Amino acid sequence: MSEEALSKAQAKATRAQRLLDDELLVEAFKGLETSYTSAWRNTTIDDVSGREKLFLAINIVGKVRDHLNKVVSDGKLAAAELKALAETAERKRLFGRR
């Protein structure tokens, strides 16, 4: 991956982490999961379609959170790779190799 792509991944990770740490978003995720789970549990026995839709909704909330966590994880890997590239460049500079 290019340094530019690694830098972009690192920047995206910072943004994703801010979202995951944002009290309003955390509250929104929890509220959605709670309301969807409650509605799912309160469906009637013959409301198969309703249960399926609510089950999907619950899972989508989790998938959004999982996606943000993956972006953060990928950004940490990108940061480590950028650091390794910088260290390699510094060693080459110090020892006069190109």
Q: Which residue's structure tokens are 């080459």?
A: 92
Write out pLDDT tens, residues 33-73.
999 999 999 999 999 999 999 999 999 999 999 999 999 99
Check the CA dihedral 27-28-31-32 and report its sign: negative
pTM of the model: 0.82
The phi, psi pair for 2, rounded to 5°, reads -75, 160
Percent of the chain with pLDDT over 70: 98
**CB neighbours of 85 closer than 8 A, spacing ≥ 6?**
3, 6
What is the number of other CB atoms lying within 10 angstroms of the CB of residue 65? 16
Domain ranges of the chain: 3-43+50-94
